[in-house]
């Protein structure tokens, strides 16, 4: 019988290192244009938290999370910092950064469902280990399976069809062939927007819609049936996060596949979605789902269930973008064109690394440097931080 004490065994035989401190850097990273989804006002900034984990070997790992308040998240930067500094840091000090599984297991036990706060900690540990071994994180996850991964672009809600089409044209010129249309405020406008996009691009694009959990069942049923003529690839999270039964009923009632997002928070909620056949795919996000440590478990569950894996993110800098790219770079199975690079694809006005990630022809290259393969721009951090 295994002993839980085995979780406390460190790895000094590999690289002798100890964690000496955890630093939290809260930022307001501006959007180029305020970003609007179905719930809440347009957002001028992304509330971002960068976490640095320092070691006695002079190697620092970085991770990113966001306070992306919407259905399923009541996170604030202040709350995340409190959790990380007062509850997580005492459990990290003196530990080997190589003890990723043991540390993350302990953090999850000490504060269940704290994935928004766990994400940057776990990711920073992977970044440290990669840097200390001189290899990309994808090597830690089993080795490289691809050099590039195709991504999708998200269309923020606009005041009129003409502005929406201008945004879509610009993304198409950048090489994007998967577009996500935000819906859920006005069904009439939603139909007009979908029709305009399909008329503009024909079958040159895959068109998805995303309601961000804003619709009730009856409204969703009428709206999605009305969108069926426009060849919608998938409809993302039309119903509230608690209405898994409604999602399952809706999945049977409409032709287009459904994707779970906000309701797919943990492995337990994903199992419920799978059992009830409430979706045919799910989107994971670094912050929402707890970073690499937790997300890879979700990907294995999705693959086992024969469901699509949509690698996603809240709008993020190159740090969280690199986290997902490294997972994609090591994943041996198929992946949907995910929206994990929305921030670096033009949504954000600036980045916080010296070597920003950029899409090319609708794809993101997997970083090849040690760890996540990105280096923080300390001047940008100082300019954007809100605790000065």
- The pLDDT of residue 14: 52
Residue 317 scores a pLDDT above 70: yes
Strand positions, DSSP E, the chain: 19-35, 43-55, 60-66, 148-150, 153-155, 178-182, 206-210, 232-236, 258-260, 281-285, 308-312, 363-365
- CATH number at 288 reads 3.20.20.120
Residue 10 scores a pLDDT above 80: no
Distance between first and last Cα of the chain: 51
For strand 258-260 and strand 281-285, is the pairing parallel, antiparallel, or unpaired?
parallel
- CATH number at 31 reads 3.30.390.10
Residues 168 and 302 in one domain: yes
Average pLDDT on 127-146 reads 98
Q: Where is the domain boundary, 116, 134, 152?
A: 134
Q: Per the domain annotation, does 383 fall within a domain?
A: no
Residues 160 and 250 in one domain: yes
Q: Per the domain annotation, does 387 fall within a domain?
A: no
Q: Per the domain annotation, does 42 fall within a domain?
A: yes
Residues 106 and 128 in one domain: yes
Q: Where is the domain boundary, 109, 134, 159?
A: 134
To the nearest whole percent, how much of the chain has pLDDT over 90? 90
- The pLDDT of residue 12: 40
Distance CA 85, CA 34 (A): 31
Q: Per the domain annotation, does 58 fall within a domain?
A: yes
- The pLDDT of residue 42: 83
Residue 1 scores a pLDDT above 90: no
Name which of 284, 279, 311 is nearest 150 in CA terms: 311
Which of residues 103 and 7 earns the better pLDDT score?
103
Q: Per the domain annotation, does 25 fall within a domain?
A: yes
Domain count, the chain: 2
Residues 249 and 369 in one domain: yes
pLDDT in tens, 186-229: 999 999 999 999 999 999 999 999 999 999 999 999 999 999 99
Residues 181 and 328 in one domain: yes
Residues 219 and 340 in one domain: yes
Residues 154 and 76 in one domain: no
Which residues make Cβ contacts (< 8 Å) with residue 34, sequence separation at least 6? 42, 43, 44, 156
- Residue 78 C-alpha from the chain's centroid: 21
pLDDT in tens, 255-292: 999 999 999 999 999 999 999 999 999 999 999 999 99
Residue 293 scores a pLDDT above 60: yes
Residue 213 has phi, psi (to 5 degrees) of 65, 25
Residues 150 and 121 in one domain: no
- The pLDDT of residue 11: 42
Residue 2 scores a pLDDT above 50: no
Q: Per the domain annotation, does 79 fall within a domain?
A: yes
Residues 118 and 144 in one domain: no
Boundaries of domain holding 78: 4-134
- The pLDDT of residue 15: 59
Residues 120 and 182 in one domain: no
Q: Per the domain annotation, does 380 fall within a domain?
A: no
Residues 184 and 36 in one domain: no
Token digits for 135?
Answer: 């290899």
Residues 41 and 113 in one domain: yes
Q: Where is the domain boundary, 108, 134, 160?
A: 134
Q: Per the domain annotation, does 160 fall within a domain?
A: yes
């Amino acid at each position: 019988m295994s002993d839980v004490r085995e979780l406390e065994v460190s790895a000094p035989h590999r690289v002798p290192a100890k964690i000496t401190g955890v630093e939290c850097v809260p930022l307001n990273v501006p959007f180029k244009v305020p970003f609007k989804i179905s719930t809440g006002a347009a957002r001028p900034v992304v509330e971002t938290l960068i976490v640095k984990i320092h070691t006695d070997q002079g190697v620092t790992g970085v991770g990113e999370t966001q306070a992306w308040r919407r259905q399923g998240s009541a996170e604030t930067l202040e709350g995340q910092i409190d959790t990380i500094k007062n509850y997580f840091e005492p459990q990290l000090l003196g530990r080997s950064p190589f003890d990723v599984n043991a540390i993350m297991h302990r953090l999850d036990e000490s504060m269940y469902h704290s994935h928004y706060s766990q994400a940057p900690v776990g990711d920073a540990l992977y970044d440290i280990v990669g840097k200390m071994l001189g290899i990309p994180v994808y090597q830690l996850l089993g080795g490289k399976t691809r050099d590039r991964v195709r991504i999708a672009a998200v269309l923020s809600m606009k005041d009129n069809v003409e502005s929406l089409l201008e945004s879509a044209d610009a993304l198409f010129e950048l090489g994007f062939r998967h577009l996500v249309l935000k819906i859920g405020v006005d069904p009439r406008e939603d139909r007009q927007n979908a029709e305009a996009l399909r008329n503009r691009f024909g079958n040159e694009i895959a068109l998805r819609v995303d309601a961000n959990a804003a619709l009730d069942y009856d409204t969703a049923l009428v709206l999605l049936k009305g969108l069926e003529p426009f060849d919608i690839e998938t409809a993302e999270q039309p119903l509230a996060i608690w209405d898994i039964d409604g999602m399952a009923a809706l999945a049977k009632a409409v032709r287009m596949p459904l994707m779970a997002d906000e309701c797919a928070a943990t492995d337990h909620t994903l199992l419920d979605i799978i059992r009830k056949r409430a979706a045919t795919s799910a989107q994971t996000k670094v912050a929402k789902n707890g970073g690499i440590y937790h997300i890879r478990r979700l990907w294995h569950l999705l693959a086992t269930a024969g469901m699509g894996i949509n690698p996603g993110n809240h709008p993020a800098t190159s740090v969280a973008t690199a986290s997902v790219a490294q997972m994609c770079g090591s994943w041996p199975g198929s992946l949907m064109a995910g929206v994990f690079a929305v921030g670096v694809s033009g949504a954000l006005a600036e980045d916080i690394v010296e070597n920003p990630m950029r899409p090319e022809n609708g794809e993101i290259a997997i970083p090849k440097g040690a760890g996540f393969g990105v280096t923080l721009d300390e001047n940008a951090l100082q300019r954007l931080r809100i605790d000065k």
